[in-house]
């Protein structure tokens, strides 16, 4: 005979108090699981959104990040003249030789210093990156110690307000503009003239760490890459800008997921024991009911599946509650250290449909693990002996 689903649903309602213990445990576990995945997804999305598929970033051959790279002024000119590079109406190639330093700025929330990535760019930086646009003030003037600040940096750090003067690297800088980049990592950066930044940090003025190039089209990437990598004057690696920034998120994203999943698994052990206790109690209290089902013609397999289904239903209720509890974290903004650049990065949690589905799947797994042993016990109960139970 079919599985007695109606019987199991009514049993959950009647024995709601014991089921509630398992629901709460599973809900808490799923909520933690989802929030941790949302944290990793948010960090990855923030970095990935920094890049454009129509941009390429050029680093010294073998360098894994800008911090490890060196590109000379002569090389940047060769790169800018390569095939596939977009040009302005007057013929000026759209590329930006850039340098990066780390400077300490006090957080508004705590007053403690955090490492902020200061990026020296060219005057064409906004044309090279169309996703970045000014929202207040103006862009810096080449040759002057002026700063434009990412929106998140302006909100999170003291002293980076429009019109204020700040000191770092031995120089005094004036904040002349604030920009936004759609929530990407650039929103946590401070931009200035690359040549001035090299001067103040007493670096060679003809040395950069990367070159970002705006291409004619997305399809022009391979043409540009072939031209650059085959040029004997250059020893460089070429990446799609989006791929480069997504790769930069891998280390911290892996750490967040490993720590978070480990915590969720530890909590899952407690939730599974709660489910086991709930289902074993249900079996113990319903021995005669189980025997009656068997006497009515339900097979051992039907009884096993019915109790397993009951456990999964309880787990799904807990999983659904866990999903609802985690939803308010979507868009919650926090910050952490980007281990690739050793700078502080603000990012927003992202609770995606895929993560919610993963949370429900995790709940189902806990329900199956916690419900299988009691279900097997129920299926194996001898009918005659069970009917004699008081």
| Residue 186 belongs to a domain | yes
Q: Three-state SS for 16?
A: helix
- pLDDT score, position 295: 67
Domain match, 223 and 338 both: no
What is d(CA 349, CA 263) in angstroms, rounded to the nearest whole number?
Answer: 18
Residue with tokens 């040549």: 195
226 and 281 both lie in a single domain: no
Question: 257 and 229, same structural domain?
Answer: no
Q: Give a yes or no: residue 239 inside a domain.
A: no
Note whether 87 and 114 are same-domain residues: yes
Query: Does some domain include residue 98?
Result: yes
Question: Is 241 inside any structural domain?
Answer: no
Contacts of 291 (CB under 8 A, 6+ apart): 381, 383, 386, 387, 389
Q: How far apart are CA 98 and CA 303, in angstroms?
A: 68
CA–CA separation, 74 and 231 (whole Å): 13
**190 and 263 in one domain?**
no
Tokens of 21: 């213990």
209, 234, 259 - which closes a domain? 234
Tokens 């940090």, located at residue: 201
- Cβ atoms of 14 and 316 closer than 8 Å: no
Q: Tokens 């690696």 map to which residue?
A: 237
- Same-domain status, 66 and 204: yes
Per the CB < 8 A criterion, the answer to whether 34 and 351 are in contact is yes
Percentage of residues in the chain having pLDDT higher than 70: 84
Q: DSSP per residue over 24-90, as a string?
A: HHHHHHHHHHHHHHHHHHHHHHHHHTTS-TTEEEEEETT-SSGGG--EEHHHHHHHHTSTTB-B-TT
Virtual torsion, Cα 286, 291, 296, 299, nearest 10 deg: 100
pLDDT given at position 389: 54
Q: Are 79 and 234 in contact (CB under 8 A)?
A: yes
Q: How confident is the model at residue 312 (pLDDT cuts 50, 70, 90)?
A: confident
CB of 310 closer than 8 Å to CB of 22: no
> Quick check: 150 and 190 in contact, CB under 8 A?
yes
Q: How many independent structural domains does the chain possess? A: 2
In a domain, 243, yes or no: no
Task: List b or e across 58-86, with b for residues whose CB sees 16 or more CB atoms inside 10 angstroms.
Answer: bbbeebebbbebebeeebbebbbebebbb
User: How far apart, in whole angstroms, are the C-alpha atoms of residue 40 and residue 313?
Assistant: 29
The answer on 123 and 92 residing in a single domain is: yes
| Predicted TM-score of the model (pTM) | 0.71
Terminal-to-terminal C-alpha distance of the chain: 26
Please give the residue that has the higher pLDDT: either 249 or 329: 329
- Strand 190-193, strand 146-150: pairing: antiparallel
Residue 383 has pLDDT above 70, yes or no: no
106 domain-assigned: yes
- Say if residue 114 is in the same domain as residue 210: yes
- Domain ranges, residue 279: 5-48+250-387
Asked whether the predicted pLDDT for residue 387 surpasses 60, the reply is no
The verdict on residue 194 lying in a domain is yes
pLDDT at residue 70, rounded to an integer: 92
Work out the widest C-alpha separation in the chain, in whole angstroms: 96
The mean predicted confidence, pLDDT, of the chain is 83
**39 shares a domain with 69:** no
The alpha helices in 286-299, defined as continuous H runs, are 287-295
The torsion of the CA quartet 226, 229, 232, 233, rounded to 10 degrees, works out to 110
CB 175 within 8 A of CB 161: yes
Per DSSP, the three-state class of 341 is coil
The answer to whether position 66 is within a domain reads yes
Same domain, 141 and 190: yes
The answer on 88 and 111 residing in a single domain is: yes
75/68 Cα distance (integer angstroms): 16
Q: What is the pLDDT of residues 127-183, one digit of tens each?
A: 999 889 999 999 999 999 999 999 988 888 888 899 999 998 888 999 999 999 887
**Residues 224, 340: one domain?**
no
Which of 205, 234, 263 finishes a domain?
234
């Amino acid at each position: 005979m079919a599985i007695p689903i109606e019987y199991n649903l009514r049993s959950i309602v009647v024995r709601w108090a014991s089921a509630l213990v398992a629901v709460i445990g599973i809900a808490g576990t799923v909520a933690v699981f989802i929030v941790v995945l949302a944290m990793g997804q948010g960090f990855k999305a923030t970095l990935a959104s920094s890049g454009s598929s129509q941009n390429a970033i050029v680093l010294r051959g073998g360098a894994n990040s800008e911090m490890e790279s060196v590109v000379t002024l002569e090389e940047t000119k060769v790169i800018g003249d390569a095939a596939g590079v977009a040009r302005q109406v007057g013929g000026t190639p759209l590329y930006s030789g850039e340098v990066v330093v780390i400077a300490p700025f006090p957080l508004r929330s705590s007053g403690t210093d955090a490492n902020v990535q200061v990026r020296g760019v060219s005057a064409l930086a906004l044309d090279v990156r169309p996703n970045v646009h000014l929202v207040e003030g103006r862009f810096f003037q080449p040759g002057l110690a002026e700063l434009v600040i990412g929106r998140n940096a302006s909100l999170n750090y003291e002293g980076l307000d429009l019109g204020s003067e700040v000191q770092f690297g031995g120089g005094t800088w004036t904040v002349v503009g604030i920009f936004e980049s759609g929530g990407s990592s650039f929103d946590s950066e401070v931009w200035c003239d690359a040549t001035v930044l090299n001067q103040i940090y007493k670096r060679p003025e003809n040395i950069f760490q990367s070159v970002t190039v705006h291409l004619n089209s997305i399809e022009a990437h391979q043409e540009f890459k072939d031209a650059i990598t085959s040029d004997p004057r250059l020893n460089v690696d070429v990446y799609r800008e989006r791929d480069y920034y997504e790769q930069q998120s891998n280390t911290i994203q892996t750490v967040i997921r490993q720590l978070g999943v480990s915590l969720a698994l530890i909590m899952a052990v407690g939730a599974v024991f709660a489910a086991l206790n709930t289902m074993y109690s249900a079996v113990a209290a319903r021995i005669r009911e189980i025997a009656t089902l068997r006497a009515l013609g339900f097979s051992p397999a039907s009884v096993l599946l019915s109790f397993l289904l009951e456990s999964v239903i309880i787990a799904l209720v807990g999983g659904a509650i866990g999903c609802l509890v985690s939803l308010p974290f979507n868009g919650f903004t926090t910050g952490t250290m980007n281990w690739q650049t050793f700078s502080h990065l603000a990012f927003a949690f992202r609770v995606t449909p895929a993560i919610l589905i993963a949370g429900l799947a995790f709940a189902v797994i806990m329900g199956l693990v916690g419900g299988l042993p009691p279900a097997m016990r129920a299926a194996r109960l001898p009918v005659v002996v069970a009917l004699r139970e008081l």
